[in-house]
Amino acid sequence: MRRKLVVGNWKMHGSRVANEPLLAAIAQGRPYACDVAVCAPFLYIAEVAVAFAGGDLRWGAQDCSVHEQGAYTGEVSAAMLAEFGCRYVIVGHSERRQYHQESDQLVADKAKAALAKGVTPIVCVGESLAQREAGQTDDVVKRQLSAVIHTLAHCAGEMVVAYEPVWAIGTGRTATPEQAQDVHALLRAQLHAATPHAAQMKILYGGSVKADNAASLFAQPDIDGGLIGGASLKANDFIAICRAAG
């Protein structure tokens, strides 16, 4: 049995005033029957680390540089994330692919940079609405994952994959459990062809996961938890989603 994982993706939300009660509530909700993590904006990671210290809650970032160090103004390296105890880093989120022109290869290189420093990349893949309507979903997600598999090579089994249909992100329009499962099964098969660890790898679903739809998504055989945007900013909702994964 794969243990489920629920990851909050705060995106560019939060403030010192708002973070404190949110993090305290998540910490007080322990124990959870699944693994739980929060990926906060860079500036708040140290605060999450303090709030979650000494327990089994994890934290991470939402992006990292492909470079180890150097003259890359504005970038944050995987080594810096590791120094602050980050277990995870999200790479290839559709908002980064779309607004920052991140290519499949750049995403793959970021995943590799993270793994090299012991930070687990959560690699996001997903199709747009136009691509789904054109029947291109399978091709798009396979292409996105294949770049990462190829680049990570024998380490591919160490990543977490997140399927996030772009049309479901922040729209309130979630994929049905069956739609999500179909893509997860496809991704699992692709992983099986690439690594002996595929059966143990976690494939998360993301896109308008809420307290009232989480259980039916997480009940699917290849859905191993969720990447949670909007609902991760409200303690009660996020905790309810974590409970649904237990």
Residues making contact with ligand PGA (CB under 6 A): 9, 164, 169-170, 206-209, 227-231
**CB nearest ligand PGA: which residue?**
229
- CB 42 → ligand PGA: shortest distance, Å? 17
- Smallest Cα–Cα separation from 77: which of 119, 138, 21, 128? 119
Is the Cβ of residue 121 or residue 207 nearer to ligand PGA in the bound state? Answer: 207
100 is an active site residue: no
184 is an active site residue: no
Work out the burial of residue 94: count CB atoms within 10 Å of its CB; fewer than 13 is exposed, 13-18 middle, 19 or more buried.
Answer: buried
DSSP sequence for 153-201: GGGGGG-EEEE--GGGTTTS-PPPHHHHHHHHHHHHHHHHHH-TTGGG-
Catalytic residue among 95, 102, 127, 164: 164
Q: Which residues pair with 149 in a beta bridge?
A: none
Identify the three-state secondary structure at position 111: helix
Is the Cβ of residue 88 or residue 194 nearer to ligand PGA in the bound state? Answer: 88
Is the Cβ of residue 6 or residue 169 nearer to ligand PGA in the bound state? Answer: 169
- CB 44 → ligand PGA: shortest distance, Å? 17
- CB 154 → ligand PGA: shortest distance, Å? 28
Both tokens of residue 49? 């680390």
**Which segments within the chain are labelled E, that is strand?**
5-9, 35-39, 58-61, 88-91, 120-125, 160-163, 203-206, 225-228
- CB 95 → ligand PGA: shortest distance, Å? 7
Enzyme catalytic residues: 93, 164
